[in-house]
Amino acid sequence: MQGRHFLHIPGPSPIPDRILRAIAMPIIDHRSAEFAALGKEVLDGSKAVFKTKQPVVIYPSSGTGAWEAAIVNTLSPGDTVLMAETGHFATLWKTIATRFGVEVELIPGDWRRGADPAAIEARLSEDKSRQIKAVMVVHNETSTGATSRVAEIRKAIDAAGHPALFMVDTISSLASVDYRHDEWQVDVTVSGSQKGLMLPPGLSFNAVSEKALAASKSNTLPRSFWDWQEMIKINAGGFFPYTPATNLLYGLKEALAMLREEGLDNVFSRHQRLASACRAAVKAWGLEVLCQNPAEHSPVLTAVLMPPSHDADRFRKIALEKYNISLGSGLGKVAGKVFRIGHLGECNELALLGALSGVEMGLAAAGVPHRSGGVAAAMAEFEGSESGNQAKAVA
């Protein structure tokens, strides 16, 4: 096909040219002073994105590795953790925990909402013997487009007076959705490189509180590759205890620079604008957004329910073949029932409007019942947002 491919899955997200050029740097000696300078810059610079002054550990792995690292550095076999079932990725994190002999108590969910702070507070309040060692929540559930209210969950834990560790997965939200590791007293924040940070897959992160570091000195799960203590000790000099993903670190350096230049608050506002326009298009098509709570609508992606008896994967296949656009598939319980439109990372108004045009034409080509006018509705949403910003500027 002629022209660019429209990659609008909820990650990996498109990689900016600046980052691609940075990754193309020649490899250097990872025991050299030049590398130490790079290591210190990205280790310190990452803290601003997590909004923390505490250590950020960087692994050469996917986000799954960071999930495992959070578990093996803080928990012991037989420990009980409380987890909210928000969707497919919460379920996967649960599976990893159980493989290490951790007992996972799941607060059931319908995959259409984020984690319920009231339910978490109620369960912790019941736990008089303090058997629950950690609360584990996915901030932005990539399979459903629902964003959990992490600040409210922190308040719920405090209201219950419970000492449990607080662990949050920000793999699809970091650098796209406002997140505050220190202010919200999160103990372990998990993330990955391939979404809001606009990098290829291959780097993962743990932001770690003092409380979590203390837990890592007494828990009994074995670890070597994932060990925080060894990483943090060697990171002090800008180095890593094993061969790092040097060229991805060059890309991370450039990504951090791009985020600083735009300003994190502007990044978050841009994602909110894009998400609002995407939802306006879905409404105009007469389709339904999977996430039912407007307060939890994701700025990162929009999951769209297909009409009954219409297969989302068939629609996605037709849209790809005719219009060269990749859309996210439904996962787990919603496989074949939803498609997902990613609007994260290096995405702007024109990029999203192009993607929405592909979706609208794809719906028609696949014979999916809908109304036309979704793209026009998104344009009107952008125009309204721009008018509102101009009014604020004048005021």
Q: What string of DSSP letters covers 262-328?
A: H-HHHHHHHHHHHHHHHHHHHHHHT-EES---GGGB-SSEEEEEPPTT--HHHHHHHHHHHH-EEEE
User: Interior CA angle at 308 toward 303 and 314, to 5°?
Assistant: 65
What whole-number distance in Å separates Cα of residue 20 and Cα of residue 41? 19
Element (H, E) at 342: strand 338-342
340 is in an annotated binding site: yes
Contacts of 83 (CB under 8 A, 6+ apart): 90, 93, 94, 97, 104, 105, 106, 107, 135, 136, 137
Element (H, E) at 359: helix 349-365
Three-class SS of residue 169? strand
What whole-number distance in Å separates Cα of residue 144 and Cα of residue 307? 16
Q: What string of DSSP letters covers 209-242?
A: -HHHHHHHTT-----STT-HHHHHHHHTTT--SS
Three-class SS of residue 37? helix
Residue 319's alpha-carbon distances to 169, 234, 288, 362, in angstroms, are: 31, 48, 19, 5
As beta bridge partners, residue 190 has: 169, 206
Three-class SS of residue 58? strand
User: Are the C-beta atoms of 80 and 105 separated by less than 8 Å?
Assistant: yes
Structure letter (DSSP) for residue 345: S
User: Are the C-beta atoms of 378 and 281 separated by less than 8 Å?
Assistant: yes
Q: What string of DSSP letters covers 111-164?
A: SSS---HHHHHHHHHH-TT--EEEEEEESEETTTTEE--HHHHHHHHHHTT---
Binding-site residues, in ranges, read: 340
Binding-site residues for substrate, in ranges, read: 340
